[in-house]
Chain A
């Protein structure tokens, strides 16, 4: 079909445009300036770890962001230990030993936090499964079949006559018959 090459051309052009955009910004990162800290690679590790640790005297900040004395001191501790060659896990163990799990913003995975870590995915699976089962079920009777009396009622309304007595809607999911909703449903017929 003649349309297919046009579509793929459009897509390719869009891709090229976006790639060019990315290239333009990518060049902003060319080269590293003179480091201000003694060891920028170490600083990077310190910052990353510090962002996982909670400042205990603040309301809700990491020790990376907080200016509180304890936070600064703890950050220094992190730096010293990493410089000494400790691993990230060693530093975390050090902190947890002194302050408990509370200091970790990433809760440890243990029995008491299984629900926390796995709950969302279990919930998602349950939700999708429930949805699938409900959609597969065929209902007993199609919801939009009407009895003869209801058909007559509907025909009367569409013809613009008043319905034979106010019929209270049964426990079916048919629209509540009032003159107002009739007007708005008539208006909907002309729109998609």
Chain B
């Protein structure tokens, strides 16, 4: 029963991810876009964990671990970004 639900849960999270893309597109500020990318990251990690249980591939958890470990790099590189035209 639980296993049968895993693909559907993955699909549901993927739908969430796709809906979040609208916010990256719309903005309005850089901070909004980056924030959504980070949300994207958390959802991807959840999806990878579900995928690993669904496909019985525990190696995917290492991929998820790497994603959470390196999730902050982009926001640290972003911090203090000077003002620019399309913001």
Instruction: Answer yes or no: are A and B bound together in one complex.
Output: no
